[in-house]
Every structure is written in C-alpha cells, then in structure tokens.
Structure 1
Amino acid sequence: MSTKATLAHHRAVGDEPAWHLYEEVFESGVVYLELEGVGIELRTRELRSRDQGGADVVVRLPLSTAIQLGLHSVVPAERWDSACRTDKGGALRRLRGSVKKKDDQTESTEKGE
C-alpha cells in the first residue's frame, strides 16, 4: 500500500518532462517532487552528522515545466522575462565585444590621432 498522496502532477507531453508533487501521509513538514526525463547534476555531501550530508541537486527544467510548478511566481518579472528570451546568443556576442577582425577601427586609442 502506497503512502503517497498526490498534491499535483503533470504527464509527459512532447519534450516536456513528467513531474509529481506529493506528500507522504505519515510524514509532516515536507513534500516530494519527482521529475521524470530531466537533466540533473548531483553532488553528494559527506555525512558528518544526522543534519548534514545528503546531496546537492541541480535540475535542468524547460521553462514550461518551471511555470507549471509556479517557479516563475518567485522571480521578479524583469528577471523572468530575461530568462525567457530566445536570443541569448546575441547577448553573449555583445559581451565578447563589438569589434571583429574585418571591422574598421572607428576610434583611435592613442592621443593626437
């Protein structure tokens, strides 16, 4: 007999992963989030005492899944809009500099020129 009580869930659709938010009936103060079909990064911690140890988990989520989980509601609107931009490569090119090998120099770096 399962002691899981579903709070919310989403079945996998297309490229979207499935997720299941649930509680254990006899365990108070925590909920569980099960994700299926997502990329993760996992780092384990050394167990030194009962309160330490375990793992650090980084989960790569599609934006649609983050929205389904309500994660966008805890992010300032401007930051969320930035995260949703599809042209992030352009921002990276601007950070690397605007002068390319074949560009003409428009400013001189030495005085008097």
Structure 2
Amino acid sequence: MLDSIFSFFSWIVHAILSFPELITSGIAYLIGKLTVLYWEIKLEFIKMVWGISKSLIQDLNLSGKIRDAMVDLPPAVYQTVLFCRFPEAINIIFSGALTKFILRWMPF
C-alpha cells in the first residue's frame, strides 16, 4: 500500500518537473506548424496573383499589337526586327513588369 502511494507521488513530481519541457516542445511544434501555414498561404497568394497577371497579359494582347504596328515598317527593317526577336523581348519585359506590379499587392 505504501509503495503505491510513493509511486503515485513520484509520478506527480515527475509530471510537475517535466511540465516546462512539455511547454517548450508544444511551442516548438506550434511554431513549426505556423511556419508551414505561412508558406502555404503565401504560395496560394502567388498562384492567385499569377492567374490575375496571366489573364491581364492575355487580355492586353501586346504581342498582337506589336505585330500590327510592325506591319508599317519597310520589309528589310521588319525582317531585321523579327530576326533579333524584339517583339518577344518586349513582350517578356512587359509581362515581367506587370507581374512585378501585381506581386506588390500581396499583403506580405
């Protein structure tokens, strides 16, 4: 009988002494989960922003407007511009600038 009482009190003392370790491991677990949640939310925002910028780029149809404007050029200049791939470069630069502008709207 006395042995069971001692073992009960030993268990209580061990539980009280290990409580700070329990709190520390709980906080570490919580910080890990919150970090993963932060990056998952950020990834979802990036997907949303990419969808918005992609639809804006398609709606603006910049490459079609560049092609329409280049029709007025003389044939030799037109072929040189196409050979140097200037319309594609302008389209890539514009797409990057628009995506950067939209990414600045992200809350973090």
Q: Above 0.5 in TM-score?
A: no
Structure in which a larger fraction of residues adopt strand = 1
Relative contact order (C-alpha < 8 Å, sep 6+): which is higher?
2
Structure in which a larger fraction of residues adopt helix = 2
Structure possessing the higher radius of gyration over alpha carbons: 2
